[in-house]
Amino acid sequence: MKLTVNTFVTLDGVMQGPGGAEEDPTGGFTQGGWLVPYVDEGFGQVVDQWFAAGDAVLLGRTTYDLMSAFWPLVTDPENATATALNDRQKYVVSHSLTDPGWQNTTVLTGDVVESVRALKEELGEGELQVHGSAQLAATLHEAGLVDEYRLLVFPVCVGPGKRLFREQAPPVGFEVVDSRSTEAGVTHLVLRPTAFRSGVVGIEDGRETV
């Protein structure tokens, strides 16, 4: 099964607390809510497209707790995000959750990387989507299990916070599959990982060469 990471990031790469200060104050993070001023129709269209492409959802515990407290309360049948999250099969990575209250939820325990690798093989066709879940997404990135990244990059910097691409992550290149911007200035990038490449800039016969 294709594994995708679908997430919001700041220009300096932070994923933490996009929707509000109370979402995730871990580590003393106080800049939550940085996404809100840039939400417009274009933003909504991109997110709807994300969920339209998915078949199942994979979440870390923090994101699962946030979503399970909010989305079951949204019963509007026109809300594509609510419909997808409430109706589809969900998997949550946790060593302590034993009785998830959100319907269609399966708890994954044990080694995260091996559990997700096995899940990808077990599910077969379709798309398994990670939403948010900074620690989980970073771990899967570093393990090379992500097939595609869909990032909404917001024109704001917030300083320290949880990041998708951590310092210990291995070098990797990306093929840009799609790129566009909303009227509010948010950039949507669809990326597929490729081998990391490098080169040398030099001078030959008085001309710059690459």
Write out pLDDT tens, residues 108-139. 998 999 999 999 999 989 999 999 999 999 99
- CA-to-CA dists, residue 50 to 108, 155, 188, angstroms: 23, 20, 11
**For residue 24, what is the domain's CATH number?**
3.40.430.10
pTM of the model: 0.91
Q: How many domains does the chain have?
A: 1
Write out pLDDT tens, residues 151-183. 999 999 999 999 999 999 999 999 999 999 999
Residue that the structure tokens 């939550």 belong to: 32
Distance in angstroms (rounded) separating the CA atoms of residues 66 and 115? 22
Other CB atoms within 10 A of residue 39 CB: 15
Write out pLDDT tens, residues 28-70. 999 999 999 999 999 999 999 999 999 999 999 999 999 999 9
Amino acid, single-letter form, for residue 150: R
Handedness of CA 199, 204, 208, 209 (dihedral sign): negative
Distance in angstroms (rounded) separating the CA atoms of residues 186 and 189? 10
Q: Is the pLDDT of residue 98 over 90?
A: no
Query: What is the band of 3 on the pLDDT scale with cuts at 50, 70, 90?
Result: very high
Task: Identify the domain containing residue 158 by its residue range.
Answer: 2-209
